[in-house]
Amino acid sequence: MRMLARAWALPATLVGLLLGLPAVVVGATLHRVDGTVEIAGGRLGRAVARRFRFSAITFGHVILAVDDAARLRCRAHERVHVAQYERWGALFLVLYPASSAIQWLRGRDPYYDNPFEREAFDARH
């Protein structure tokens, strides 16, 4: 079953690797933790932290964090997203932003009211 879940999430994992490996080339660290690849820091991490509002983001079995502190702080939350990718596969790449758009259209917060985020926030507490 684990192999099937990994295969189902593989397209998103490849996206994460394509985004994360260039960060490793310019100084990010790479860690393998419980079936995930966590990539943190480096010059790209600092650039992302200045430009965007997130500390970490997940693509399949790859977690990208702006720095090592964020990688550790956000791990439990991001692991919920890993499980969501295992459940939804590459569809999650469409479902997550669609859910955010629906929340925004309803006048709600596209991040905090997104059911995928709600699940991740609820699971870590």
pLDDT at 44 over 80: no
3-state secondary structure of 121: helix
The whole-number pLDDT of residue 43 equals 78
Please enumerate in sequence order all residues whose Cβ is within 8 A of that of 100, keeping only pairs 6 or more positions apart, or say none: 110, 111, 114
pLDDT at 16 over 90: yes
Domain membership of residue 39 as a residue range: 2-90
> What are the pLDDT digits (tens) for 61-111?
999 999 999 999 999 999 999 999 999 999 999 999 999 999 999 999 999
How far is 70 from 21, CA to CA, in rounded Å?
A: 18
Structural domain includes residue 107: no
Count of structural domains within the chain: 1
DSSP summary character for residue 18: H
Structural domain includes residue 56: yes
pTM for this model (two decimals): 0.91
**Residue 125's pLDDT band (cuts 50, 70, 90):** low
Structural domain includes residue 44: yes
